[in-house]
Amino acid sequence: MDKIEFKQTFIERLAELYAMEVSDATPIELYQTLGSIVSTTYTKQWSKSWQDYRDTKQKQVYYFSIEFLPGKMLKSNLLNMGWLEIVEEALSELGIKLDDLIEIEPDMALGNGGLGRLASCFMDSIASQSLPGNGNGIRYRYGLFKQRFVDGHQVELPDEWLPKGNIWEVRKDSKAVDVHFGGSVHLEEHHGRLKPVYHGGYTVRAVPYDTGMVGYKNGTVNTMRLWDVAIPAEEEEHYRSIEDRRMVEELTSVLYPDDSNEAGRKLRLSQEYFFVSAGVQSILRYYKNLHLPLEQISRYIAIHINDTHPAMCIAEFMRLLVDQENLKWEKAWRLTLQVMSYTNHTIMAEALEKWSIEMMQDVCPRIYQIIEEIDRRFVEEMSTFHNQGLIQRTRIIQDGQIHMAHLAILGSHSTNGVAKIHSDLLKNVILNDFYVLYPSRFNNKTNGIAQRRWSQLANPAMTKVLNQTIGDSWHRTPTDLHLLMNFTEDDEVLEQLAAAKLENKKRLAAYIKEHKGIEVSPEAIFDVQIKRLHAYKRQLMNLMHILKLYFELKNDPKRDIHPRVFIFGAKAAPSYHYAKAIIKAINETANLINHDPDIQDKIKVVFLENYNVSLAEKIIPAAEVSEQISLATKEASGTSNMKLMLNGALTIATLDGANIEIREAVGEENIVTFGLTEKEVYRYYQEQNYRSLEWYHNDPVIQRILNAFIDGTIPNIVNEGKQIFDSLIQYHDEFFVLRDFADYCRAQEIINQLYQDSRRWNQISLINIANAGIFSADNTVERYAEDIWQIRPNPSSQLGGAAQHD
């Protein structure tokens, strides 16, 4: 479609939809019109992709995730369709700014953080690699809460995103399936086989809403299927009371806002079973329509379990094969193992899901029976070869609880971690017992990011420089960014990149002024920590370093530091009081420092509200320092580290998660690392000899800073300050903040020094961009496709399968 054609279509569509002309239409109407043109255009390719997969019976993967975090989709769809430039120009000729329309789109936030965003980055890359793959999740009516600050405290507001209209989804009533909950089950003999007989309980209808996942200029459009709940018409009489109806509606009402532990809530378990059962049933229905033998299902279908939240896929698949399709247990189990694969995203103990037997029996009694049988057979089978200790530690049911990670590992052929260090810890420490039993099941797949969204879409200024310098092959082949390494000594390129960064910083400065009323200088270093608020991520250590600088400047206003703006973005789980205390402390410190005339704008602290995908797209292009400072071993991978690196930020990092691979990629001189290593952390655990109190007593700097939390230096944090102080002293500083603090300050001083040499700094920035290509999710999903899912690119995609040039 060319510009003239597009303008014509736009004017016609606006008239069809609203009987209006451009000059009369509001941005909402213009947005709807553009969305309608985009979606009706890719719809043809959507049904073609789908028919291709079906007609040629290609193996497909289904990515089950209780969270998807796509953010806004308009611009990404335009980019992937190859329309972005034409549409932007054509609209501008009609007097419309594309950016004004993008503002209208709600930010789809059906996820908490890295795990949900990873699922969406994968959806983009799976489609862009012409791979046959689909998402399966929940269509929450309320996404992750909106964060507001009131007197520096986090306040949560509901995220009602749907009433604004979601132009990308298509409701498919004809594809609905029923999901049964509760009641009881007993087994009866039928023709020599035991069959379940259900009593009571209730049935709900799962109705899918499909959203097209548009691949990058390859004609592939895959499906993200999110399930909504409805009361089946024929069951109306069972749902007479308001409570009964509410109970059903609640199933898809809210996303649980805790990204580490959801303390055994029945509704959460019901949500898990709901989207698992709906998804697995619809896959099986599709497969049966292909009229292929059930025994061959693993040649055509792969199911991926994103963390343990969908681990019941294993039991649900068994239920359908055994109860409904009458397969023998052994055969069904073999198929289940071949179909299923699992990714672990954390070693934090509180995030490893366990459910009580009672609750599981209550929510899905037949699933409980099946898990019990899986467990029983595992113990029986292992008893001839292995010692009892090992078996007891690895079995699924222990002490009245069902260990979902055990189910996921024992019921699948692949368990992977999300960065090298994380996968090694799984094998050697956390899941070592399982590794001993099934070494070949374990593998690593380092995370990746949707490269084009985090460069071309978020950072057009940098993109322009890159295109002029190295061409545009990196759009499809992100490792071609490496071509930039030919320009490390090219002053013109270095300066152009610096100019692009400055432009982005000015834009962020304007945003900060508008939203926080804080004036920041674009000449200052923009230092960014953006991620969920968690003790292990150590935002507190960042705050302590800010306080250190503050006290130094108070003592010696002439102290020579390059001005710096410390920027935070972070939501805390609503029930995570400690994390909220840290938010309050950062906000009060910001207030104190930003208004202190002695500081002369040498440091500014900005905590931006409501960190989400759209805000990330504004912050990341302007960032110069990327704070990746979790305690070694705790951050499984991290993904903001990759996005910031791609945008030319220098990483200050512990040797944790993917930071280690980033260091390998850029070289030691182009990253600043500090802190305890994995080995040192484990030595402390073993010898139990970390005494945070001693670090407090022996270090006057630490003392001065910690006292500020309880002596009124930081105002209005009487309770929060005490809680923070106590966590470090009385409760022994679980995440070694005091232990790593001095080394962190040393690393920060190196950054301050490096920034003085702007040429050197610009080189580091360029080298970071040049080496970010390996962290493209295109790459990551290719590895999943080859090693785990065994799926291949669709040969009839417009790229003929393999990735080729534009």
Residue 531's SS3 state is coil
Q: Which residue is nearest to ligand B1H (CB)?
A: 114
Tell me the closest approach of the beta carbon of residue 568 to ligand B1H, in angstroms: 18
Report helix, strand or coil for 211.
strand
Catalytically annotated residues: 345, 531-532, 537, 639, 643
In the complex with ligand B1H, which residue's Cβ is closer, 116 or 478? 116
533 binds ligand B1H (CB under 6 A): no
587 near ligand B1H, judged by CB under 6 A: no
605 pairs with which residues across the strands? 566
Nearer to ligand B1H, 211 or 630 (CB): 630
471: DSSP letter? -
- State the nearest-atom distance from the C-beta of 157 to ligand B1H, in Å: 20
Lay out the site mask for ligand B1H across 347-366 (x = CB under 6 A, - = otherwise).
Answer: ----x---------------
User: By C-beta, is 116 or 365 nearer to ligand B1H?
Assistant: 116
Q: Which residue stretch of 51-59, 140-148, 226-234, 637-645 sits at the interface with ligand B1H (rule: CB under 6 A)?
A: 637-645
612: left (phi over 0), alpha (psi -120 to 50) or beta: beta
| C-beta contacts of 477-482 below 8 A and 24+ residues apart | 477/773, 477/803, 477/805, 478/451, 478/772, 478/773, 478/774, 478/776, 478/778, 478/779, 479/773, 479/774, 479/776, 479/779, 480/773, 481/769, 481/770, 481/771, 481/772, 481/773, 482/770, 482/771, 482/773
Contact flag: residue 114 with ligand B1H (CB under 6 A): yes
* Binding-site member from 61, 90, 109, 115 for ligand B1H (CB under 6 A): 115
Closest CB 414 distance from ligand B1H, rounded Å: 16
Q: Per CB under 6 A, does 539 bind ligand B1H?
A: no
CB 219 within 8 A of CB 45: yes
Residue 395 CA to residue 375 CA, distance in Å, equals: 6
Return the residue of 65, 80, 447, 591 that touches ligand B1H, per CB under 6 A. Answer: 447
Nearest approach in angstroms of CB 530 to ligand B1H is: 13
Name every residue whose Cβ is closer than 8 Å to that of residue 506 and which is 6 or more positions away in sequence.
Answer: 522
Closest distance between ligand B1H and the C-beta of residue 230, in Å?
Answer: 25
Q: How far is the CB of 268 from ligand B1H (least distance, A)?
A: 8
Q: Of these, 39, 112, 223, 479, which contacts ligand B1H (CB under 6 A)?
A: 112
> Segment contacting ligand B1H (CB under 6 A): 112-120, 243-251, 366-374, 404-412?
112-120
Question: Does 498 engage in binding with ligand B1H (CB under 6 A)?
Answer: no
Q: Which stretch binds ligand B1H (CB under 6 A): 154-162, 464-472, 634-642, 770-778?
A: 634-642
The interface with ligand B1H within residues 269-308 (CB under 6 A) comprises 307
Binding of residue 120 to ligand B1H (CB under 6 A): no
**CB of 109 or CB of 318, closer to ligand B1H:** 109
Judged on CB neighbours under 10 Å (0-12, 13-18, 19+), 345 is buried
Per CB under 6 A, the list member of 65, 125, 346, 692 interacting with ligand B1H is: 346
- Nearest residue to 588 via CA among 552, 543, 558, 548: 543
Cβ-in-10-Å burial (0-12, 13-18, 19+) of 222 comes to buried
Q: Is 657 in the site for ligand B1H (CB under 6 A)?
A: yes
Choice between 617 and 635, CB closer to ligand B1H? 635
Is the separation of the CB atoms in 569 and 615 below 8 Å?
yes
| Distance in angstroms (rounded) separating the CA atoms of residues 140 and 257 | 12
Tell me the window of 51-59, 113-121, 140-148, 618-626 that interacts with ligand B1H (CB under 6 A).
Answer: 113-121
DSSP letter (8 states) at residue 473: G
Is the Cα torsion angle 104, 68, 447, 539 positive or negative in sign?
positive
Identity of residue 751: I
Nearer to ligand B1H by Cβ, of 463 and 633: the residue is 633
Q: Does 636 bind ligand B1H (CB under 6 A)?
A: yes
Q: State the minimum distance, in angstroms, from the CB of residue 345 to ligand B1H.
A: 3
In terms of CB distance, is 10 or 274 closer to ligand B1H?
Answer: 274
Between 323 and 617, name the residue whose CB sits nearer to ligand B1H.
Answer: 617
> Binding of ligand B1H at residue 496 (CB under 6 A)?
no
Q: Using the rule CB under 6 A, give the single segment among 109-117, 178-186, 583-591, 595-603 that binds ligand B1H.
A: 109-117
Write down the least CB distance from residue 297 to ligand B1H, Å. Answer: 28
When asked if residue 69 is in the footprint of ligand B1H (CB under 6 A), the reply is no
* In the block, residue with structure tokens 């972005």: 84
Can you read off the two tokens belonging to residue 429?
A: 């420490």
- In this structure, what are the phi and psi dihedrals at residue 270, rounded to the nearest 5 degrees? -65, -40
Does residue 735 bind ligand B1H (CB under 6 A)?
no
- Distance between CA 750 and CA 764 in Å, rounded? 13
> What distance in Å separates the CA atoms of residue 634 and residue 624, rounded to the nearest whole number?
24
215 with 129: CB under 8 angstroms? yes
- Tell me how far, at minimum, the Cβ of 576 lies from ligand B1H, in Å: 12
Residues near 622 by Cβ (< 8 Å), separated by ≥ 6?
501, 504, 505, 507, 508, 526
State the residue for tokens 């719809």: 43
Q: Which of 34, 118, 581, 616 binds ligand B1H (CB under 6 A)?
A: 118
Residue 226 or 592: which CB sits closer to ligand B1H?
A: 226
659: tokens are 């930071």
Q: Contact region for ligand B1H (CB under 6 A) — 111-119, 200-208, 488-496, 551-559?
A: 111-119
Residue 58 CA, chain-centre distance (Å), reads 28
Strands 202-214 and 221-230: antiparallel
Q: What are phi and psi of 327, to 5 degrees?
A: -75, 155
144-173 residues near ligand B1H, rule: CB under 6 A: none
CB of 738 to ligand B1H, least distance (A): 23
What's the closest the beta carbon of residue 794 comes to ligand B1H, in angstroms?
Answer: 26
**Each residue of 287-306: b (16+ CB within 10 Å) or e?**
beeeeeeeeebbebbbbbbb
Distance, in Å, from the CA atom of 206 to the CA atom of 563, rounded to the nearest integer, reads 55
Q: How far is CA 436 from CA 402, 445, 684, 729, in A?
A: 21, 20, 25, 39
- From start to end of 465-563, where are the E strands? 525-530
Query: Which string of x and - marks every residue 397-426 that binds ligand B1H (by CB under 6 A)?
Result: ---------------------x--------
DSSP annotation string for 278-293: HHHHHHHHHHHHTT--
**Restricting to residues 235-274, which ones interact with ligand B1H according to CB under 6 A?**
256, 258-260, 262
Q: Is the CB of 411 or the CB of 638 nearer to ligand B1H?
A: 638
Strand partners, 221: 214
Nearer to ligand B1H, 170 or 254 (CB): 254
Interface with ligand B1H includes 341 (CB under 6 A)?
A: no
Nearest to ligand B1H of 114, 621 (CB atom): 114
Number of chain residues interacting with ligand B1H (CB under 6 A) = 21
Cβ at position 424, least distance to ligand B1H in Å: 15
> Which one of residues 59, 139, 345, 452 is an interface residue with ligand B1H (CB under 6 A)?
345
Pick 638 or 773: Cβ nearer ligand B1H: 638
Min CB(269)–ligand B1H separation in Å = 12
Q: Which of 136, 412, 415, 637 binds ligand B1H (CB under 6 A)?
A: 637
**Rule CB under 6 A: which residues touch ligand B1H?**
112, 114-115, 118, 256, 258-260, 262, 307, 345-346, 351, 418, 447, 635-639, 657
